[in-house]
Structure 1
Amino acid sequence: MISRSLGPEFGGSIGLIFSLANAVACAMYVVGFCESFQDLLFSFGVQPIVGEIHDIRIVGVVAIVLLTVIVVVGMEWEAKVTLN
């Protein structure tokens, strides 16, 4: 949409920056989720398995893989799961 209104050169460069910004934002959201999840586990008395930083990495990898599976399967399946 941006490249159609601004031209392919300018819109393409903005689109590239926008996609990189979305990738960084997704990574930061996952790190925030993992830290909150770790605090939640600590409040229930669960101790770190490997170490605090490694537990964040493990939960982060699992979260990213789960999100990737949801994206690959498609929005139709996600909409069905969300509505039920």
Structure 2
Amino acid sequence: MGPELGGAIGVIFYAANVSGCVVYLLGFSAELCDLVYGEGNYGDWSRILWALVGLLGVTVVIYIGPELYAKTAVTAFCITVIELSLTFL
């Protein structure tokens, strides 16, 4: 199979990760705008601004280093487990 196929697959996975990050940021900003401004009481620029703030937050975590990324992932996992346990108990 060789590196030729591996490079092509790597590009596809990279594009999928970038697209996934965009979708996650748009979902985050839409929910945050609903929470802050009320249901549907905001424009596209508000959503874009909050998505940009989220993107800057992701960029800061990535540039600081893998240690902070690992701590952030563990913290997010713990918060998710606590929220799910409170929801279903």
TM-score normalized by the length of structure 1: 0.74
In structure 1, stretches of 5+ residues that fail to align are 1-5
Q: 1:78 to 1:13 in 2, by over 3 A?
A: closer
What amino acid is aligned across from residue 31 of structure 1 in structure 2? Answer: L
Separation in structure 1 between the aligned mates of residue 64 and residue 28 of structure 2, nearest angstrom: 22
The reply to whether residue 67 of structure 1 matches residue 62 of structure 2 is: no
Separation in structure 1 between the aligned mates of residue 23 and residue 71 of structure 2, nearest angstrom: 27
Matched positions, count: 73
Match of 2:26 among 22, 31, 34: 31
Q: Give % identity.
A: 34
Deviations 1:23-61 (CA, angstroms, capped at 9, x unpaired): 011001100111111111234x9x64xxx1000000011
Separation in structure 2 between the aligned mates of residue 79 and residue 25 of structure 1, nearest angstrom: 19
In structure 2, stretches of 5+ residues that fail to align are 79-89
Match of 1:40 in 2: 35
Q: 1:80 to 1:21 in 2, by over 3 A?
A: closer
Give the structure with the larger helix fraction.
Answer: 2
Match of 1:57 among 39, 45, 48: 48
Q: Which structure has the larger Rg over C-alpha atoms? A: 1
Name the Cα RMSD after superposition. 2.1
TM-score normalized by the length of structure 2: 0.70
Match of 1:3 in 2: none
